[in-house]
Chains A and B, each alone.
Chain A
Amino acid sequence: MKTQQELMSVSRAAELINAGKYLSIAGDEAALRQLPQGHWIGGTIPYFMAAEGGTVSREQVFVSEVSGFAVPPQLRFYDSATLPQICRNAPDNGYSILIIPAFSATHASFAQNAPNFEEMYMKPLIGWIAGIHLDDLGKTTPKVVLGSTGEFSESDAVVMDVPLPPEKFAQIDIVNLFHPGTGAGIRFQNNGFSAGDCLIGGQVGNLADYLLDKQIDTRLPLVADYSGAMINVSIKSIDREARRVEFYAPVFPGPEYRFAAPVTDYVTAFQAALPRSGLDISFSCNCILNFLNSQLEGKRTGEVTGPMTFGEIGYQLLNQTLVYLTVTE
């Protein structure tokens, strides 16, 4: 049986909640506030990849049903002090869905410290960063919801821990269309959401100067090779005066980064890179930057649907990446 993942009306989502289903829900804050209490977690975002194609909607919500669990999933909030325990607290066999409000201290802390959380990479952790409609920037804040109490939070993360029976196992994978380009290798001395001075091609340089001198398209992320996984760090802005570059995820001192090679046709490239057809994807999300930069509104990206988010979580924070979860026997 295929996992139910679809964009739907608030009333239909409410029916599923009232039927006792365990759900992960994405939607605009006003839509989420209309939902009844129940076994669900949620986050704010009005951008979606629906079965019909890229969609912006403040009225509908995207619902992913959680099923096939061994015992009922656990739902709870984590603040930035308790979040490092998330993997330790996760079920021995199962997975966790994590939603964090963008721009919160929890978001910053997770981005910088997740790789060193106890039991990180030992238990599947997937999720996304809640956001807002871009027209609402400065007017409202991203939030997450603990459906069991109906409580909204702009500071804490919300988690659903899903224990699986012994014969099943969860696996997280990513689709990233970006690969390192042919430019200089870049290394950073410290981790952080911004950088100025760094090593460029082995020489001391400044990243802001480099971007401007080379006229690099800032829609292209920095890409690092993590033992075969291409991990992006997207460019948020360049501060010419301060000679610093702001990122949507932190850079780290270990890996060597390069600016990505251009992707000429995102939709075609994406469809070619998608997992095989018929795969039962239990949960997935993609990046709002892919939605915007590749003008995906109204365009389909194969069978993979989900919210288009302010950051993706595939164990750690990712940018401009599709993340998906499968459960296999």
Chain B
Amino acid sequence: MKLEELLHHTLAIHAPWHIARVRNDLGKNQIDIWVSREAQRSGWFFTARSTPEQGRESVWRHINIGNARCIVHAVIPGEADSADLQWLGETDQPFTRAFARQIAGMFMQGVSFASVCALLDLPVADLWKFKHRLDNGKSGLSGPGSASDSISARIPAPNDPIWEELLSGNLQLDIRILSLKLLLTKLREQFAIISDGEVRTLKAHELQRYFTRHEKMLGHELAQLAQN
């Protein structure tokens, strides 16, 4: 794979869109890229001719490139063209869709607000802005991620103590599904020797994630959880 292809692949930028320009001198540990619609390929790195989009250029924080922040500059194209573009963000939002999903995924895995900022080199103000809009229903996370990982009302939240009860063996279930029998056995063995609270929390999240993914076939087991 050529370097140009690798960067486009890493940042989820696919034809007819391409990276028209790159700068690494606009901020510390920061790479700025300009994305536009490709008119004609010349074969040179980043030198394909671009068709300028009409409108105001927007700027979003995209998924990091290694330890560097990645800033996307682009003009929002027409609605029909932009629905599935993960390198694009919403108007007045600080993050691209891909970065928003990455952050939301970390929250769903139980990573704290402060840890998300530290791990992603993210300004607190930007994260507050994003979270506020999410909490108020002004932004969504729809995209090509796994629909089966969405939150369900039937499944206790990841931080519900019921998961640690299951992992410690204090709560027993009659299990009909082979994969859950095998997974729970493995997680219980691990849980029994883990003393670190955060690692135990991660195990609880792993089990909750299994239930979320397999909700359709876990009616028997979820009915037992509901009684506890």
Contact = CB atoms under 8 A, between A and B. Distances in A.
A229 interface: yes
A93 B209 CA distance: 15
Nearest to B177: A171
Interface of A: 92-93, 115-116, 120-122, 124, 166, 169, 171-174, 226-229, 254-255, 314-316, 328
A120 B185 CA distance: 13
A172 B217 contact: no
B174 A229 contact: no
A227 B210 contact: no
B178 A174 contact: yes
B181 interface: yes
Contacts of B67: none
A314 B148 contact: no
Given A169-B214, A227-B182, A255-B185, 11 more contacts: A116-B186, A120-B183, A121-B186, A169-B216, A172-B178, A173-B178, A174-B178, A226-B185, A228-B175, A228-B181, A229-B182
A186 B175 CA distance: 24
Given A92-B148, A166-B147, A121 B217 contact: no
Contacts of B14: none
Contacts of B146: 92-93
Contact of B179 (A116, A172, A255, A328): A172
29 contacts: A92-B146, A92-B148, A116-B186, A120-B183, A121-B180, A122-B209, A122-B210, A124-B179, A166-B147, A169-B214, A172-B178, A174-B178, A226-B185, A227-B175, A227-B180, A227-B181, A227-B182, A227-B184, A227-B188, A228-B181, A229-B182, A254-B185, A254-B186, A255-B189, A314-B178, A315-B178, A315-B179, A315-B182, A316-B182
Contacts of B188: 227
B57 to A, nearest CB: 35
A172 B189 CA distance: 23
B131 interface: no
B210 A171 contact: no
